[in-house]
Structure 1
Amino acid sequence: MQAQLRETATELAAVLWREHTVYRERGGGVVIRGDHVRRWISLAPTGGRDQALVRAGRILDGGTTAPARLEAVVDLTSGTAELAAVCRRLLAETAAEAAPSTAGAARPARAARPGRASRPGRAEGRAKAARPRRGRHTGVGSWVVLLCVGGVVAYWAYSVFGAGAY
């Protein structure tokens, strides 16, 4: 199965992108990485015969990969063209999801699920949470720990130096 995945991934990579890197994953799958388009595709074996789990995701700044955004199970016997069409659809949906965040625009409000009321004041809470904290740098819990450690050191010093002097 690994040899079939590797061969399929190499053919698929040549169809999808001119510049690509194909490498093996730890779990036995194969990853096709397109650094110039900042996307990756993974082909992993499934329990079914001649089937693979195709996952698509983004490549973040610095070259690290984000977790898979979309996935689909495909039949490897269907051919490279059909497999490439599925991968292009997944990549397009991944790019569409990532477009607002890469453009620096605000994320559009999601529609509320049927039967659920939207929560008022969420935008204000996000704006408030995004602001840097000002004021006290050391929290109350840290002061309590420091006082306890100071008390233990003072008790030790008293027991060693103070009690033996009399």
Structure 2
Amino acid sequence: MYAELRDTAAELAGLLWREHTVYRERGGGVVIRGEHVGRWISLAPTGGKDQARVRAGRLLDGGTTAPARSEAVVDLSAGTGELAAVCRRLLADVTAAEAAPEPAGAARRPGRRARASRPAKPARGRHTGLGSWVVLLCVAGVVGLWVYSNFGTH
């Protein structure tokens, strides 16, 4: 299955991007990286005959890959042209998801509820707060009492 995925990925990469890198991933699939567009496509076996799971995502700064934003199961016997169309749709989904970022606290996985988000606190300067002043005054008072009790009555 890997040899078939590798051949399909090589043809697909030529259709999608003029500059690309094709390599094998740990799980037995094949990854196509388009550095110039900041995207990646992964083809992995599904266990079914002539089927593959296609996932798409973006490349992060430093060359690492972000988790897949969209995926689909495709029939490899349909042809490279149809597979390229599916990949273009997945890449469009990735681009759309990047253009509209998730709101703060939104669920990252389907079926999970989003947590209520709190408004961000306004940034404060490096000023000493009221609690710090109270602690400083208490420490000064204790030191003053100690000095008075040891040296003030003589």
Fold match by TM threshold 0.5: yes
Q: SS of the counterpart of 2:120?
A: helix
In 2: Cα distance, 1:28 partner to 1:132 partner? 51
Match of 1:115 in 2: none
Bigger proportion of residues as helix: 1
Match of 2:93 in 1: 93
2:78 equivalent to 1:78: yes
Match of 1:127 in 2: 120
Tell me the number of residue pairs that the alignment of Structure 1 and Structure 2 aligns: 120
In 2: Cα distance, 1:49 partner to 1:95 partner? 31
Q: SS of the counterpart of 1:63?
A: coil
Match of 2:111 in 1: none
Q: SS of the counterpart of 1:52?
A: strand
Using the size of structure 1 for normalisation, the TM-score is 0.64
Larger Cα-atom Rg: 2
In 1: Cα distance, 2:19 partner to 2:42 partner? 16
2:15 equivalent to 1:22: no
In 2: Cα distance, 1:59 partner to 1:134 partner? 37
Using the size of structure 2 for normalisation, the TM-score is 0.69
In 1: Cα distance, 2:8 partner to 2:93 partner? 22
Which amino acid letter does the alignment assign opposite residue 35 of structure 2?
Answer: D
Q: Which runs of 5+ in 1 are unaligned?
A: 111-117, 137-166
Give % identity.
69
Q: SS of the counterpart of 1:10?
A: helix
In 2: Cα distance, 1:132 partner to 1:60 partner? 31
Match of 2:66 in 1: 66
Q: SS of the counterpart of 1:19?
A: coil
Q: SS of the counterpart of 1:37?
A: coil
How far 1:127 moved relative to its partner? 1.9
Q: SS of the counterpart of 1:94?
A: helix
> Deviations 1:92-115 (Å, cap 9, x if unpaired)?
0000100245xxxx959x8xxxxx
In 2: Cα distance, 1:73 partner to 1:49 partner? 12
Which amino acid letter does the alignment assign opposite residue 11 of structure 1?
Answer: E
Which amino acid letter does the alignment assign opposite residue 46 of structure 1?
Answer: T
Q: Which runs of 5+ in 2 are unaligned?
A: 107-113, 129-154
In 2: Cα distance, 1:132 partner to 1:50 partner? 59
Which amino acid letter does the alignment assign opposite residue 92 of structure 1?
Answer: A
